[in-house]
Structure formats: C-alpha cells, structure tokens
Amino acid sequence: MTAQENKIYDEALDYIRQPSKAGFEPLALKVFSHQFARNPTYRNYCEAKGGTPDTVGSWREIPAVPTDAFKEMDIACGPPEKVFMTSGTSQGAAKRGRHPVPRMDLYRASALSNFSAHLLPDLASLRMLFLTGSPETWPHSSLSHMIEVIRREYGGDPADYYINETGLDLDRLIKTLGEACDRNEPVILLGITLAFHQMIQYALTHRRSFRLPSGSRVMDTGGFKGRQIDLSKTDLYRRYEEVLGIPRTHIVNEYGMTEMCSQFYDTVLIDHINGVRHPRHKRIPPWVRTLIVDPETLEELPPGSTGLLRHYDLANCGSVMALQTEDIGRTVSDGFEITGRAAGAEARGCSLIVEELLRAQ
C-alpha cells in the first residue's frame, strides 16, 4: 500500500477517534474518490449510474452497493489484511459473502469506541461470558473477531467462550452463572440470540434461574434468522429477566453485518444511566450515516418513513462505504428502529443493483 493510499485510511481512522459533524461529508467524498479509483468493478458501476467524483457533491449521492453483491465478487481497494465471510445461505457455501478488509485498525477503532459507549458507559471493564465461538472456532466470522477485540481490551482473562465444535457448552455456562451469583460478581453475557434462546430453554426445563449481581448486562445479536421460533422481542427480553435476573434496561441488542466494519447498538442502557426515556432504537455512530430508502425506487424517504436501511460507513474505507441492505426500518430520534427484512418483490430494487454490478465487471 502506497503512502498516498495509507493517507486516506489514516484520515478515516483519525475521524473515527475524533469525529466532527462538519467533517463527515468532505471525508466521505474523499473516501468515495479513493474507492472509485481503486476498485474497477465499483468504478464501472458508478460510471454507469452517472455517479463519479466529478458529479457527486454529497455523501447522499454516493452509489450504494447491496450487501448481496459480496456473495458474487470481491469488493476491495487493495490486498486484504483479513477476509470475513458470512455464515452461508440456502445457495450453499459457494455463495458465502466475502468482505476483504485492507486495514483492520479502522475496524478495531470503530468496534471499541462503539461498544464501550453502549455497553460500558458506567464501567471501565467487566467479566465477559461469550455465547459465541472463539476466533479459532469461527475463524472467518466478523462477530467472533469483534468479540475477541472487545475481550482483549475490556474483558481480560479468562477467555470464557462457551461455543465449541460440538455446540453450546450449557453445563459449563450454567455452572459459571451460579459461581458469579455466589461471588456477587457482575458479568456481561455477549452472544448470538439463538445461543441465548438455547440457554433459556435449558434453564427453564431444568428449573434453574439466577439473580446475577447488580450491574450485570446482556448483549445479544443476530435474531433467529429464519428459524421457526415464534418469540417476540418483548417475550425474549422477559425471559432474559426471568432466567438471568437482568432488567430490560441492561439488555442491549447489537446489529451488525459481515459487509460492514461498524456496528449499531440499542441506546437503552445509556438512556437508563442518563435518566432519559426514548423508544428502544439503534443509535448511529458519528462516523456512519444511515438513510431510509424506498424498497423499489431506492430513493430517500422523509424522516419517520419505513423503508430499506442504507448505511454510509467510513470504517469501510478499504472496500465500499455505501451499503444498501435489505433490512427494513424507520428513523427514530438519533437513529433507527429495525422492523423486519425485505423479501421477494420488496427486495427487487436491491436485486437490480446486483445485476448492474455483475454487468459492470
């Protein structure tokens, strides 16, 4: 990587560490110019759309790439330091999305700043119990990498991962929770929603429940991803309270994706600590912008509308900053609420963009 190429990454890294509202747009346009120059497929697509560094005057005008495109092609501006892969689709392992990341220091800075703000706003550290696989168990998982980055910075040892090659180690997890109660040691449980659901079902079946010490909290992520589990978020959080003794003010959902180096978190814990009341929603980090767009036309919708989420993430400096998702949401306060997932005709606009990208190769 040349000194000039490193310069734009350094600028993005500096912005993540010390963001300013006025500085987002000029840096976003510089990042777009870098991606236009360094990614031939993306450049061809942008030219076909009439969106080039000479014609784009606002971050809102930067052409967005659907997350599904990462299943069809590598979208990167240089050799990767690490490649993350999605867990796969009904189309098989060959259709796993790949996100090559040229500089992982941007990912790390984004992950740590955002996590500490939403999960540790009142503490410097906390014992962490991970309902995920370790980086050795899940070597291509962006979630596993994020969790390990967080563990090394805020959790220390031991590295309490409870998912191994054979699945969730429920006996060891239940034992650890009992010991935390006996020692009056607050903990934070971080993991995938499916693992939490499995733990809760096990505890209810075996008539086990805990009252984890004050200050304990939960970070869950991923949802049920099409599994036949009929359980609303309200009921799920009620079960967290029932089994773990952790109040809903300390249950924070994380929303992330393999194709994006930044994450989003519920504001519920921050709001509780600050003594304010807002509807539960995801706050947008200062180095990210999010729009709600029409599912068919992909045009921006006014505030309060429901549509597809489109993210502009400066931490994605090394791949593509503008990401079009198939997640449905609406704007709320300083962020958004996720209300569902587009399917069939609702996702047609995204499918058309993928076709255009493939033609541009």
3-state secondary structure of 220: strand
**Domain presence at residue 88:** no
Residue 91 lies in a domain: no
Query: What is the per-residue pLDDT for 259?
Result: 96
Contacts made by residues 166-169, CB under 8 angstroms, sequence distance 24+: 168/131, 168/195, 168/198, 168/199
At residue 354, the pLDDT reads: 54
> Of the candidates 254, 283, 312, which is a domain's last residue?
283
Structure confidence at residue 8 (pLDDT): 96
- Tell whether 278 and 292 lie within a shared domain: no
Query: What pLDDT digit, counting tens, does each position of 133-158 carry?
Result: 999 999 999 999 999 999 999 987 77
Q: Is residue 306 part of a domain?
A: yes
Confidence of residue 59 (pLDDT cuts 50, 70, 90): very high
Task: Please tell me which residue, 277 or 120, carries the higher pLDDT value.
Answer: 120
Same-domain check for residues 111 and 9? no
Q: What is the pLDDT of residue 233?
A: 86
- CATH code assigned at 314: 2.30.38.10
Buried b (16+ CB within 10 A) or exposed e, 2-36: eeebeebbebbbebbeebeeebbeebbbbbbebbb
Looking at every residue in the chain, the average pLDDT score rounds to 91
Residues 112, 252 within the same domain: yes
Angle at alpha carbon of residue 7, lines to 6 and 11, rounded to 5°:
120
Cα distance from N-terminal residue to C-terminal residue, the chain: 23
Segment 68-84, tens digit of pLDDT: 999 998 899 999 999 99
Shared domain for 153 and 257, answered yes or no, is: yes
Is the pLDDT at 308 greater than 80? The verdict is yes
Residue 99 lies in a domain: no
pLDDT digits (tens, 9 = 90+) for 84-97: 999 764 445 557 89
Of 225, 259, 283, which residue constitutes the final position of a domain?
A: 283
Same domain assignment for residues 116 and 225: yes
Residue 255 pLDDT greater than 90, yes or no: yes
Q: What's the confidence (pLDDT) of residue 90? A: 44
Position 63 in a domain: yes
Together in a domain, 265 and 352: no
Q: Is residue 86 part of a domain?
A: no
> Do 181 and 267 share a domain, yes or no?
yes
Q: Report how many domains make up the chain.
A: 2
Lowest mean pLDDT among 135-144, 184-193, 265-274, 352-361: 352-361
CA–CA dist 194, 172 (Å, integer)? 17
136 and 235 belong to one structural domain: yes
Q: What is the pLDDT of residue 89?
A: 46
Q: Are 267 and 119 found together in one domain?
A: yes
DSSP string covering 298-311? -PBPPTT-EEEEEE
The reported pLDDT for the residue numbered 134 is: 95
Establish if 177 belongs to a structural domain. yes
Judged against a pLDDT cut of 70, whether residue 226 lies above it is answered with: no
Q: Is residue 94 part of a domain?
A: no
131 and 204: one domain?
Answer: yes
pLDDT band at 211 (very low <50, low <70, confident <90, very high): very high
pLDDT at residue 225, as a whole number: 66
Query: Do 252 and 217 contact (CB within 8 A), yes or no?
Result: yes
Question: Which of 283, 301, 322 is the last residue before a domain boundary?
Answer: 283
Model confidence at 356, in pLDDT bands (50, 70, 90)? Answer: low
Average pLDDT over residues 283-310: 95
pLDDT at 360: 59
Domain coverage including residue 118? 106-283
Instruction: Give the pTM.
Output: 0.92
Q: Say yes or no: 33 and 163 in one domain.
A: no
Both 178 and 275 in one domain: the answer is yes
Q: Is 358 within 8 Å of 45 (Cβ atoms)?
A: no
Q: What is the CATH number of the domain that holds 197?
A: 3.40.50.980
